[in-house]
Amino acid sequence: MDRAKSTLEQWRILQAVVDFGGDAQAAAVLNKSQSSLNHAVAKLQSQLGI
């Protein structure tokens, strides 16, 4: 099976969520919508099979 590769941006978003204690705080710091962060993390989880 050919899995899509995770991106550096997805990992950067995940790190920000962890560092800032949640997606709302990370979204504010990264100047992105909370929805876009949730989507990026969900896609990363799917790609990793978790």
- Concatenating the DSSP letter of every residue in 5-36 gives PP-HHHHHHHHHHHHHTSHHHHHHHHT--HHH
Tell me phi and psi for residue 36, to 5 degrees.
Answer: -65, -35
What local confidence, expressed as pLDDT, does residue 5 receive? Answer: 80
Tens-digit pLDDT profile for the chain (50 aa)?
446 788 999 999 999 999 999 999 999 999 999 999 999 999 999 999 98
> pTM for the whole thing?
0.84
d(CA 44, CA 41): 5
Q: What is the pLDDT of residue 2?
A: 46
Contact 43, 37 (CB under 8 A): no
- Please count the residues of the chain: 50
**pLDDT at site 1:** 43
